[in-house]
């Protein structure tokens, strides 16, 4: 911004200087002064072609030069043979200055209108025309600089895709066996697991052009524009084959056709299906698409001959999280055991792990530390998982309720060995929910942890706070699924009343457990009152002394 302002000032100054120079050149008197004798001789020998009179001088113009002499030295008789023109210099200057003034004012007004957005291309050009221009631009490939070495924890996925990479590098080897390259690869997995990076790594490893489009970019408000965009994309890829087309969030354009009218989306989907059918075996183009909602995709997209191969990219395991964290910590000065961080990040995807490392680095900088430590990760983990929330201002009584509530939760979580590393008094959640397959006793352990705070407050104070709502809702949801969906009641088709019986049983078992651990609860409460945090290791150490 500073540079552009300086350039503008320099431009205005240059323009002003040019105007001054032009005025000087036009108004400067270039005539040579001569004597009366020379003037008389010139007039008598008829070498003067024209005579111009001004207020102070008489100008004698010959074929080669212009001469001047003071008006007081020339008499009217000397000029009787010439037609004398009167020079109105003041009028010429006035007209010229007036023109410069008008042009200057006009320029300033135009600039002011542009600055205040009164006169702009957005107001002159309609949005429809502008939109059509944007989408008429040619589609160009992207040079991918992402390698598989930049992505940690995807060894299984890499093995699935290496065959495609090898095919694009050595097509003759596969054609000699009569094998054809898969026309489409569908990457399926939750958000943030690195599906886009995987596609870019494939393009980089194969050394081919990479064409990236999001599914939403095909969804246009004008009928035919989305289909046209699809055709342009595939034409560009075929003209530069071998190449890779990557369509991110394909569910935006590839949803099931349910018979309801949506002419533009259906036309775009039909064009996509047609283009994938039109691939010749020798076209050298492969389509990679990504989605986290495979169940909503149209069956025509999923049939053989379109997306021949499906690769499921799941949330990283502990070993894969450690590998990802190692990648992100390479350029960060740290004193961290990646396995410890991997243990505390159950349920994190690759993007969340990147954000966690970044937040820990920023915290270390704010605290003027020389290295990132495990303590920094403890402090920022909840911010990455659940977002930063403004802490409530608690009265002393409310704080004691919260201390008891959190103490009971952390004791149950440690007793049942649920995944967490540290509890903060301000934590709303202790451990992340997971969709992984869980055994019945694991689900029951989680429900007990969620009920522990309510149980402890009811034991000590005969009441609990409204802040228990979040844990109670999650406990009810788990019990609902156990009975209605997972068949974990007395029979696979359990009755509705079993939900209440299961919740009551888990509540009583949690009460019995906590009543037997009053010494541990008092210890944890004292630590939370003093430090407002406690680690799993500290609680486990105390439990081992009691049990």
Q: What is the pLDDT of residues 497-506, one digit of tens each?
A: 899 999 999 9
Least confident of 254-263, 362-371, 397-406: 254-263
| Strand spans (E) along 457-544 | 533-535
pLDDT at 128: 47
pLDDT at 167: 81
Q: Considering the chain, what is the average pLDDT of its residues?
A: 78
Q: Per-residue confidence at 54, pLDDT binned at 50, 70, 90?
A: confident
* Whether residue 13 has pLDDT greater than 70: no
Average pLDDT rounded to a whole number, residues 139-149: 76
Integer Cα distance of 425 and 529 in angstroms: 9
Question: What is the DSSP-derived secondary structure letter of residue 297?
Answer: B
- Sign for the pseudo-dihedral over CA of 107, 112, 114, 115: positive
| CA dist 380 → 211, 322, 364, 429 (Å) | 37, 18, 11, 14
Integer Cα distance of 483 and 505 in angstroms: 14
Integer Cα distance of 347 and 344 in angstroms: 9
* Whether residue 105 has pLDDT greater than 60: yes
Integer Cα distance of 547 and 536 in angstroms: 16
More confident residue, 296 or 332: 332
Q: What is the CA radius of gyration of the chain?
A: 41
Pairing of strands 372-373, 57-61: unpaired
Average pLDDT rounded to a whole number, residues 36-49: 75
Task: Give backbone dihedrals phi and psi of 193, rounded to 5 degrees, phi first.
Answer: -90, -5
- Kindly tell me the number of DSSP H helices and DSSP E strands found in the chain: 21, 14
Kindly report the pTM of this predicted structure: 0.54
Which of 4-18, 281-295, 469-483 is predicted most confidently? 469-483
Name the packing angle between helices 396-415 and 518-531 (round to 10°).
120
Average pLDDT rounded to a whole number, residues 84-113: 65
To which residue do tokens 């104070």 refer? 461
Q: Per-residue confidence at 113, pLDDT binned at 50, 70, 90?
A: low
210 and 201 in contact (C-beta within 8 Å)?
A: no
């Amino acid at each position: 911004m500073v540079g552009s302002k300086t350039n503008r000032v320099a431009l205005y100054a240059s323009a002003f200087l040019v105007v001054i120079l032009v005025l000087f050149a036009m108004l400067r008197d270039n005539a040579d002064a001569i004597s009366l004798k020379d003037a008389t001789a010139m007039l008598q020998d008829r070498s003067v072609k024209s005579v111009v009179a001004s207020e102070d001088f008489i100008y004698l113009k010959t074929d080669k030069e212009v001469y001047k002499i003071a008006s007081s030295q020339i008499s009217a008789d000397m000029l009787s043979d010439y037609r004398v023109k009167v020079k109105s210099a003041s009028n010429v200057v006035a007209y010229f200055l007036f023109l410069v003034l008008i042009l200057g004012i006009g320029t300033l007004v135009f600039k002011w209108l542009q600055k205040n957005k009164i006169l702009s291309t957005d107001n002159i050009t309609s949005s429809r025309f502008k939109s059509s221009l944007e989408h008429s631009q040619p589609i160009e490939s992207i040079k991918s600089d992402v390698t598989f070495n930049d992505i940690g924890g995807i060894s299984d996925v890499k093995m699935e895709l290496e065959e495609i990479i090898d095919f694009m590098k050595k097509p003759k080897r596969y054609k000699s066996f009569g094998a054809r390259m898969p026309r489409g690869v569908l990457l399926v997995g939750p958000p943030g697991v690195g599906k886009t990076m995987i596609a870019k790594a494939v393009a980089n490893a194969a050394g081919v052009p990479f064409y990236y489009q999001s599914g939403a970019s095909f969804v246009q408000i004008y009928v035919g524009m989305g289909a046209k965009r699809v055709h342009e994309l595939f034409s560009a890829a075929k003209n530069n084959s071998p190449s890779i087309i990557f369509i991110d969030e394909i569910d935006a354009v590839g949803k099931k056709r349910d018979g309801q009218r949506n002419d533009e989306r259906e036309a775009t989907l039909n064009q996509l299906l047609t283009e994938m059918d039109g691939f010749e075996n020798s076209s050298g183009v492969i389509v990679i698409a990504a989605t986290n909602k495979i169940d909503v995709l149209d069956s025509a997209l999923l049939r053989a001959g379109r997306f021949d191969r499906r690769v499921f990219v799941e949330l990283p395991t502990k070993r894969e999280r450690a590998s990802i964290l190692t990648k992100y910590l390479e350029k960060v000065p740290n004193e961290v055991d990646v396995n410890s961080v991997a243990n505390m990040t159950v349920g994190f995807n690759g993007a969340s792990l990147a954000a966690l490392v970044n937040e820990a680095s920023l915290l270390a900088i704010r605290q003027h530390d020389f290295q990132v430590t495990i303590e920094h990760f403890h402090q920022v983990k909840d911010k990455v998982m659940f977002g930063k929330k403004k802490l409530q201002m608690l009265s002393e009584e409310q704080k004691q309720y919260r201390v008891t509530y959190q103490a009971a939760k952390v004791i149950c979580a440690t007793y049942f060995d649920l995944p967490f590393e540290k509890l903060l008094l301000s934590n709303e959640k202790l451990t992340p929910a997971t969709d992984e397959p869980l055994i019945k006793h694991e689900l029951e352990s989680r429900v007990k942890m969620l009920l522990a705070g309510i149980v402890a407050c009811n034991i000590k104070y005969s009441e609990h706070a409204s802040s228990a709502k979040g844990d109670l809702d999650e406990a009810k949801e788990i019990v609902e699924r156990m009975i209605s969906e997972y068949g974990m009641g007395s029979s696979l088709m359990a009755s509705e009343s079993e939900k209440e019986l299961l919740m009551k049983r888990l509540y009583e078992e949690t009460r019995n457990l906590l009543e037997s651990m009053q010494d541990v609860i008092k210890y944890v409460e004292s630590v939370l009152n003093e430090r407002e945090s406690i680690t799993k290791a500290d609680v486990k150490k105390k439990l081992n002394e009691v049990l």
